[in-house]
Structure 1
């Protein structure tokens, strides 16, 4: 199979996993400024970035969770914010994983450490960026009152932090479980970014 077609197929698969885990594995929380939620979508955005590289992984997350927002009346107005933030998670995770640690060449404990720190970097970007971006987006783009924007941002900080912890743990474990199998059949080399 052509490598470009294979990569597009895997991006689509990861986008679907982001969508499913965001839409169906979530707990919505209403706040005065809108909705926030606990979900597993970021897990697959980060996993996609580990497998495919930053931009491709971020695109998968942005597509999957962006579509999730667009199809849910509670979130449709924040879809642009989601798309930007998920692309950012992917880029940061992929940059650290593939440019700093070169995870394709790591093994054993060094690989565990590199994958863990890469996922942590992507989620740290989200933990910092989500509440800040949420406040400015809600207050200035959507025109919500300042107290409502602050309430949503503070709830987002809590849910984003919990989502981040879950995503770091699950995506690290998932990558460590599936990467040897993908490498064994030659797929990892075909879909991972070229150095």
Structure 2
């Protein structure tokens, strides 16, 4: 199979998994300025970035969770924010994984460390960016009162931190479980971005 076709298929798969994990494995929390939630959607955005690189990984998360927002009446107004943040998660994770840590060239303990640092970097971006971006998006774009926007940002900080911990652990474990098999059959080399 052509490596470009394989990448597109993996992006689609990860987008679908992001959508499913976000939509159906979610605990919604209402706040005065909108909804926030605990969910597993970021896990597949990070996993896609580890497998494919930053932009494809970010695209998978942005597509999957963006569609999740667009199809949910409580989240539809924040879909642009979601798309931007998930794209950022993927870009940061992929940049660290493939350009800084070079995970495609590591094995054993070095690989585990590099994968964890890469996943952590992408989710750290989200932990910092989500509450800040959410506050400004809620006040400037949606016109919510300052007090309500601060309440939403506070709740977002809590849920985003929890989601980040779960995403780092699960995506790292899944990548480490499938990477040796993908490497042995040559698929990982086809998926990984060129250095």
Cα distance between partner residues in 2 of 1:185 and 1:19:
28
CA displacement at 1:88 relative to structure 2: 0.2
1: CA distance between counterparts of 2:183 and 2:91?
A: 22
Structure 2 gap segments, 5+ residues each: none
CA distance in 1 between counterparts of 2:96 and 2:78 reads 27
Residue 8 of structure 1: aligned partner: 8
5+ unaligned residues in a row in structure 1: which ranges?
none
Question: How many residues were matched structurally?
Answer: 195
Q: For residue 120 of structure 1, what is the aligned residue in structure 2? A: 120
**Cα offset for 1:182?**
1.1
Query: Normalising by the residue count of structure 2, what TM-score does the alignment of the two structures yield?
Result: 0.99
* 1:79 counterpart = 2:110: no
Which residue of structure 1 aligns with residue 105 of structure 2?
A: 105
Residue 183 (structure 1) aligns with: 183
5 Å-filtered alignment, 1:30-41, equals 30-41=30-41
The residue number in structure 2 matching 1:92 is 92
TM-score under structure 1 length normalisation: 0.99
User: Following the alignment from structure 2 to structure 1, what is the Cα–Cα distance between the partners of residues 140 and 44?
Assistant: 30
Distance 2:151 2:181 in 1: 44
Q: Deviations over 1:52-110 (max 9, x none)?
A: 00000000000000000000001000000000000000000000000001000000000
Whole-Å Cα distance in 1 between the matches of residues 110 and 162 of structure 2?
26
Give matches, 1:13-162, under 5 Å: 13-162=13-162
How big is the shift at 1:49?
0.2
Distance in 1, Cα, partners of 2:30 & 2:192:
39
